[in-house]
Amino acid sequence: MVGIIMGSTSDWDTMRACAKQLEELGIAYEKRVISAHRTPDELAAYARGAEERGLKIIIAAAGGAAHLAGVTAAFTHLPVIGVPMMGWSLSGLDSVLSMVNMPKGIPVLTMSIGKPGAINAALSAAAILALADAGIREKLLAFRTRQADEVRSATLPD
């Protein structure tokens, strides 16, 4: 249902958290390394064929100039959720500004930088899928109840 793509194998350390969250919610996904600048033809083919292969949402992670999500969105009308990576410099500020500032017409739903964004990408995908899938809706609501309960029962050391 969800395609997770990332610009490099170096993004997987972060995006593993996204995959784990999807698994916890029982959402089927696939994962692939595809680069907008190193393998542009493969990216075009992947994004163009995504709907026909049954994908509903694409989560795209990239660092640096981070154009993967925007280019993916150019080739498909499916929702594209972008996750900016920390990158090797500027602590991910470059990636988040690049992803979030899409010109009008082709949106990228941009998450926060790094692991929190990776997890929120999975939760956002779940929220979209939950609109038409009662099972996912139930799992998402249960997750949020558990999360709230954890906060309520939290104790602090003296």
Under the rule (CB under 6 A), what is the footprint of ligand RP5?
A: 6-8, 10-11, 35, 62-64, 85, 87
Q: Which of 83, 97, 70, 67 is nearest to 11 (CA)?
A: 83
Q: Which residues neighbour 110 within 8 Å (Cβ) at sequence distance 6 or greater?
A: 69, 81, 82, 84, 96, 99, 100
- Nearer of residues 35 and 124 to ligand RP5, judged by Cβ: 35
- Nearer of residues 10 and 101 to ligand RP5, judged by Cβ: 10
At closest approach, how far in Å is the CB of 6 from ligand RP5? 6
At closest approach, how far in Å is the CB of 2 from ligand RP5? 18
The residue with its CB nearest to ligand RP5 is 7
- Nearer of residues 64 and 117 to ligand RP5, judged by Cβ: 64
The residue written with tokens 């990636």 in the block is 95
Q: Which of 61, 64, 66 is nearest to 81 (CA)?
A: 61
Quick one: 73 exposed, middle or buried, by C-beta within 10 A (0-12, 13-18, 19+)?
buried
- Nearer of residues 50 and 62 to ligand RP5, judged by Cβ: 62
At closest approach, how far in Å is the CB of 126 from ligand RP5? 23
